[in-house]
């Protein structure tokens, strides 16, 4: 089975419910159009997009979008994609994995103790390298690590 996008969510505001969408526009060096985490400068640039996989969510008894991920995928363990590797979403969008997403206090609001359970399991953060439109059902491909020249 090929890896694919099974859900897309946009964070429209602090503590507001995520907007589940059929497609989203990813903007190079910025993030997802309409998402409150989209930034071009500062420390949060490495946190433009949060990717999570369906199997990990199910393993923790969580639903899609519950941990506030932007992209939910199936057919791949997103935690096996290392920082520096690039992931292609659909035909055009490329994101570069930057780091594990550290679970915040909000995870304990879902279930007491979940924040600690999710250490290095809350998905992978990424920055947008090449923009474009991504749709639910698009394929996900992992490229090799980026090497500095």
For the whole prediction, is pTM greater than 0.75?
yes
The CATH number covering residue 57 comes to 2.40.33.20
Q: Each residue of 60-119: pLDDT tens digit?
A: 999 999 999 999 999 999 999 999 999 999 999 999 999 999 998 989 999 999 999 999
For the chain, the domain total comes to 1
Tell me the C-alpha distance between 146 and 33, whole Å: 25
The answer to whether the CB of 126 falls within 8 A of the CB of 134 is no
The answer to whether the CB of 11 falls within 8 A of the CB of 34 is no
pLDDT computed for residue 133 by the predictor? 98
Range of the domain at 82: 4-145
pLDDT computed for residue 144 by the predictor? 67
The three-state secondary structure class of 149 is coil
7 pLDDT higher than 90: yes
As given in the structure block, the two tokens for residue 1 are 């089975």
As given in the structure block, the two tokens for residue 101 are 């997403």
The answer to whether the CB of 65 falls within 8 A of the CB of 54 is no
As given in the structure block, the two tokens for residue 12 are 């429209």
pLDDT computed for residue 97 by the predictor? 97
pLDDT computed for residue 145 by the predictor? 56
Question: E-strand spans in the chain?
Answer: 4-10, 19-21, 23-27, 31-32, 49-53, 71-74, 85-89, 93-100, 124-130, 132-135, 140-145
């Amino acid at each position: 089975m090929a890896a694919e996008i099974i859900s897309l969510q946009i964070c429209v505001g602090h503590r507001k419910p995520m907007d589940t969408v059929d497609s989203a526009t990813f903007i190079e060096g910025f993030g997802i159009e309409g998402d409150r985490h989209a930034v071009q400068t500062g420390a949060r640039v490495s946190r433009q997009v949060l990717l999570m996989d369906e199997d990990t969510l199910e393993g923790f008894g969580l639903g899609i979008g519950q941990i506030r991920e932007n992209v939910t995928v199936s057919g791949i363990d997103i935690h096996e994609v290392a920082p520096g590797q690039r992931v292609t979403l659909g035909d055009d969008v490329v994101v570069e994995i930057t780091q594990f997403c550290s679970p915040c206090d909000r995870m304990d609001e879902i279930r007491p103790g979940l924040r600690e359970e999710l250490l290095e399991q809350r998905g992978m953060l990424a920055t947008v390298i090449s923009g474009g439109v991504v749709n639910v059902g698009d394929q996900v491909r992992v490229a090799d690590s980026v090497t500095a020249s």
